[in-house]
Structure 1
Amino acid sequence: MSGAAPGAGAGAGGPEVTAVVVTYDGAHLLPGCLDSLAAQTVGRDRLRVVLVDNASHDDTLALVRRDYPWVEVVASPRNLGFAGGNDLALDRLATPFAFLLNSDARAEPHAVEELLAAATEPGAERVAAFNATVLLQQPYRHAAPGEDGPGVLDTPAGRVVADDAGPVRLVNTTGNLVTTDGYGIDRGWLEDARTHAPEPEVFGFCGAAALLRREALAEVGTFDRAFFMYYEDTDLSWRLRRAGWGVRHVPGARVDHIHAASSVEGSPLFLLHNDRNRLLTLTVNATAGLAARCVARSVVTALSTTLRRNEPWSRTALRWRALGSWLRLLPRALAARARTARTARVPRAAVQAMLVPPPPPRPLSAPPAH
């Protein structure tokens, strides 16, 4: 149904949700994403769609203007990353809610309707964010005894192998968690979607697919553009928690995600921003003790790998670059920390009590906290 506009709905008071899709050289991904928004059961009168193009070099703008004329386009003159790109839409949000959707994701038809229902039910007034159930788009089947080779994964769901006709769907995330040693992780990563049944309350939302309440954003602000990409959603979630807002998972809102299609996990860009932004998040939000321990650990690790030469020099150099970038942004982070402290309703230690123990080693590296 490429290019089809969202169908008519029952709403009569104007759009309730603005779907925000940020893209950079992602023309090959957009049809699946935008078609899924066109198919949403909430209808066109309740859902507007804004595409933020981060100065793409491909034919993104031509594709959208030709095949998706109902999509509002915000063309940035430069690449602002995931954080800055979303802020171009969120800072002028005119609807009560925003639905963030990655360009490499596809929302099932009832996803937005399920999220809206959760956000408007009695008792949800102080919940700021509602995370969808984000699944890896690739289906799997259980591997046969002794089966090995490409596509085989060891997961909490057992050994599985990629199979387009397979019955197993693996979880990408049902929200963000932060561990007691200061790392952001995806809740439910690689678990079987049929048995993953977490508590509704979750520390933070994942920016790949979540509904945000405008009232909450007006209170604490939107993403910090200095993050560019990775950990910006964890930072915002932590600020929302300090302000007394909640975050929930909505199991019936399902989204398929092509993991790492719009960014390359393990690339220098990923490693640099992931390392730096973790420290920025802790500097702004954590207790002084946890933040100091995590920074010190990063320095010790960088020194150790420099002296022992037990990893490629390119990786060690990125560790130092991340620390240098964190240091340059430290005055900004400390100013943000002070602002948060002045307006917070919840003590740092109380929010930090929600942190979880580090998980056991995973078969794949954890996806970035988008």
Structure 2
Amino acid sequence: MTQPDVTVVTVTYNASALVLDCLASLRAQRLGDVTMDVVVVDNASSDGTADLVEARAPWVRVLRARENLGFAGGNDLALRDVTSRYVLLVNNDATLEADTVRTLVEAMDRAAPDVAAMSPTVLLAEHFRAAAPTDTRGVVTGPDGRWTPDPDGDVRLVNSTGNEVRTDGYGVDRGWLAQAAQHRPPRDVFGFTGAAALLRTAALRQVGLFDETFFMYYEDTDLSWRLRLAGWRVEHCPGAVVEHVHSASSVEGSAFFRFHDTRNRLATLTKCAPAGLVVRAVARDVVTTVSILVRRTRPAEHARTRLRALSSYAMMLPALLAERRRIGRTAAVRRRDVAAHLVPVAAAYGPYRDAG
């Protein structure tokens, strides 16, 4: 049988309404000459998602995981068997504009052969208007102003135009909360965002898939960094637009988020970053955790979560160091040269909403 140009993979867990909206946007794609297969990985949902998808979207192939494998393991379950030239990863809480798949595939076809990933313009699904001084609840503050959600508003805010890594080792979404109409970033970007990205299958075969020990968070940054070390690049495709319901499938700021975000950031740096950055990052996290414990500047639960993250990182350390050596032996680009793409620490915007 003729292989499709692109295999679309979306991983879902107890979110049937979200994934059906995502699939509806895929069904409505104007593909032209591009051919596409769609795979839904159900991470052992308990809400009947897999049965519902099979009933309502029979054109989709459903893979049923025996347990919740997280974002990393769920994607890998599908990626191991992909034979198409490209694979498009799409979060279950994202929807695509009608020309997005074709635009991404055509952009990758035109791209230089060292481009491993193409990151679309990911917008927050909500519409906004300029916030009045009296607006408090739900206000979003970004680099271009203060905004309040309004279904009839004409302001769109950026979720991501690719991932960046700061010089202190933290990964960030490029363009986070910027006004989309004014955001004109360079085409080259450090990495792709897991919310939506087109990947070259040959690049994945070379550097490997997501690190399944991460479960979720920083797995996209880790893979992007490994691609960079292997000599690949990532580009932004401004004409491909995806809307993303931020934190619909996971809760930003929860203990679960803080644990995986902290541990996996340190794991990514240990595997990929120059040694000096690794040492500084680990030392900073240890000192910060001790400071919270001694000064009680945050709730005790925050300190316990940080301690669990550091303990889990310490248990992973032997395997991480072995992986660091393996990556170093096969790297085409020196770690310090990849680190030259890290961005300065600038003003951070967020969280997504003010408490009000």
Give 1:141's aligned amino acid: R
Match of 1:139 in 2: 127
Deviation at 1:13? 4.8
Match of 2:194 in 1: 207
Match of 1:61 in 2: 50
Match of 1:107 in 2: 96
Match of 1:329 in 2: 316
3-state SS in 1 of match to 2:188: coil
Give 2:330's aligned amino acid: T
Match of 1:24 in 2: 13
On the 8 A contact 2:40/2:62 being kept in 1, the answer is yes
Are 2:275 and 1:288 aligned? yes
Question: Which of 264, 270, 285 is the equivalent residue of 2:257?
Answer: 270
3-state SS in 2 of match to 1:261: coil
Taking the aligned partners of 2:352 and 2:214, their CA distance within structure 1 comes to 21
Are 2:13 and 1:39 aligned? no
Match of 2:77 in 1: 88
Match of 1:8 in 2: none
Question: Which of 158, 162, 168 is the equivalent residue of 1:171?
Answer: 158
Are 2:240 and 1:253 aligned? yes
3-state SS in 1 of match to 2:17: coil
Give 1:53's aligned amino acid: D
Give 2:18's aligned amino acid: L
Match of 1:297 in 2: 284
Taking the aligned partners of 2:69 and 2:350, their CA distance within structure 1 comes to 32
3-state SS in 2 of match to 1:28: helix
TM-score, length-scaled by structure 2: 0.97
3-state SS in 1 of match to 2:209: coil
Give 1:18's aligned amino acid: T
Count of residues in correspondence between the two structures: 353
Match of 2:112 in 1: 124
- Aligned-residue Cα RMSD (Å) equals 1.4
On the 8 A contact 1:14/1:45 being kept in 2, the answer is no
Deviation at 1:43? 6.2
Taking the aligned partners of 1:204 and 1:288, their CA distance within structure 2 comes to 20
3-state SS in 1 of match to 2:253: coil
Match of 1:74 in 2: 63
On the 8 A contact 1:176/1:184 being kept in 2, the answer is yes
Question: Which of 81, 84, 87 is the equivalent residue of 1:98?
Answer: 87
Deviation string 1:59-108 (CA, Å, 9 cap, x unpaired) is 20121111001110110001110000000011111101000000000011
Deviation string 1:184-241 (CA, Å, 9 cap, x unpaired) is 0000000011010000000000011100000000100010000100000000000000
Deviation at 1:358? 1.1
Deviation at 1:331? 1.2
Deviation at 1:159? 1.6
Deviates more, 1:55-64 or 1:171-180: 55-64
Are 2:337 and 1:350 aligned? yes
Are 2:206 and 1:241 aligned? no
On the 8 A contact 2:122/2:242 being kept in 1, the answer is yes
Taking the aligned partners of 1:45 and 1:205, their CA distance within structure 2 comes to 22
Give 2:286's aligned amino acid: V
On the 8 A contact 1:118/1:124 being kept in 2, the answer is no
Are 2:328 and 1:341 aligned? yes
Deviation at 1:354? 0.5
Taking the aligned partners of 1:23 and 1:62, their CA distance within structure 2 comes to 13
Taking the aligned partners of 1:44 and 1:327, their CA distance within structure 2 comes to 50
Deviates more, 1:152-161 or 1:327-336: 152-161
What are structure 1's unaligned runs of at least 5 residues?
1-11
Match of 2:181 in 1: 194
Deviation at 1:147? 2.7
Taking the aligned partners of 1:152 and 1:360, their CA distance within structure 2 comes to 18
What are structure 2's unaligned runs of at least 5 residues?
none
Q: Percent identity?
A: 53
Deviation at 1:45? 7.1
On the 8 A contact 2:141/2:177 being kept in 1, the answer is no
Taking the aligned partners of 2:223 and 2:34, their CA distance within structure 1 comes to 29
Give 1:127's aligned amino acid: V
Taking the aligned partners of 1:153 and 1:103, their CA distance within structure 2 comes to 23
On the 8 A contact 1:134/1:255 being kept in 2, the answer is yes
Are 2:302 and 1:315 aligned? yes
On the 8 A contact 2:258/2:305 being kept in 1, the answer is yes
3-state SS in 1 of match to 2:175: coil
Residues 83 and 44 of structure 1, relative CA distance in 2, 3 Å threshold: farther
On the 8 A contact 1:242/1:346 being kept in 2, the answer is yes
3-state SS in 1 of match to 2:217: coil
Taking the aligned partners of 1:206 and 1:361, their CA distance within structure 2 comes to 18
